[in-house]
Amino acid sequence: MKKENYITFDKYLNNELSNLELITFEEQLNSDADFKQEFEIYKALETSLSSKYENEEKEKALRNTLSNLGSKYIKPENSTKKKGEIISLLNYKQYMVAASIALLIGFFLFNNGEPVYGDFSNHNSLELVVRSDNNETVIRAQEAFNSKNYKEALTYLTQLSNSNDIEIELYKGICYLELNSYADADIIFDEISNGNSAFKNNASWYKALSMLKQEQFEACKYVLQTIPESADEYKQAKKLLRKL
């Protein structure tokens, strides 16, 4: 049972997989019985725990789900097998299903509390080299940011900074945010989100993430609600709003 599988399951259920990821996922679902069983358990638990928040019937819903899972996945073995083999295999199946359920409950309970910045801080790679003359500072800025060395990246981006390059300013803001320099980050995000550049919605999303990281949840909600449906960030914004 890998946590990475659960993240993939969540993305699938929320229609967040790319076309290639979706094809790969569905192929594995059809060819790997264990993977499919794990997904079915995950989907059932998500339904039950979502029901907890919407209908306040956590205990009843979860009990029914676990009961159904037990009857669905723990099947009687072929009667021609020796009794000792049947008991051993049955116990093994019970253990594996119980372990799956326990892991998933822990995963859900952890992730269904207040959302955290790390759940949503998946930055797009910085790609400045393709539009430059292979300037050494540009190359180092890009390499530092993409390797998550935000302090070094900020140094190089500051050297490159000018008021006409909104993308560099945005990535400076991200570096400040990662370094917990919230005031500096928010100044940049506010300036860009109040403008009319192609990065306007990106900046609003990062302003919301800044509020999330500072645990200013109401402010985070307010900013998220300003992100239009046409924005690339809209789906993530809606997902974060549901968790707040």
CATH code for position 167: 1.25.40.10
Do 47 and 135 have their domain in common?
no
Provide the pLDDT for residue 80.
46
Average pLDDT over residues 98-105: 59
Q: What is the mean pLDDT of residues 62-88?
A: 50
Angle at 67 between CA 62 and CA 71, to 5 degrees: 145
Where a domain ends, among 68, 86, 113? 113
Q: pLDDT category, 90, cuts 50, 70, 90?
A: very low
User: Averaged over 204-217, what is the pLDDT?
Assistant: 94
Q: Could you tell me the CA-to-CA distances from 62 to 13, 45, 50 in Å, in that order?
A: 19, 7, 10
One domain for residues 214 and 155: yes
151-198 pLDDT, tens per residue? 999 999 999 876 578 999 999 999 999 999 999 999 999 999 999 999
Q: Which domain holds residue 80?
A: 3-113
Residue spans of alpha helices (H) in 113-214: 136-146, 150-160, 166-178, 182-193, 200-213
The total of structural domains in the chain comes to 2
Tell me: do 122 and 239 sit in the same domain: yes
> pLDDT averaged over the chain?
78
Considering only 1-5, 70-74, 137-141, which range has the smallest mean pLDDT?
Answer: 70-74
Does residue 234 share a domain with residue 122? yes
- The predicted model gives 20-37 an average pLDDT of 87
Report d(CA 117, CA 182) in Å as an integer.
13
Supply the pTM of this predicted model: 0.57
Q: Over 70: is that where the pLDDT of 212 sits?
A: yes
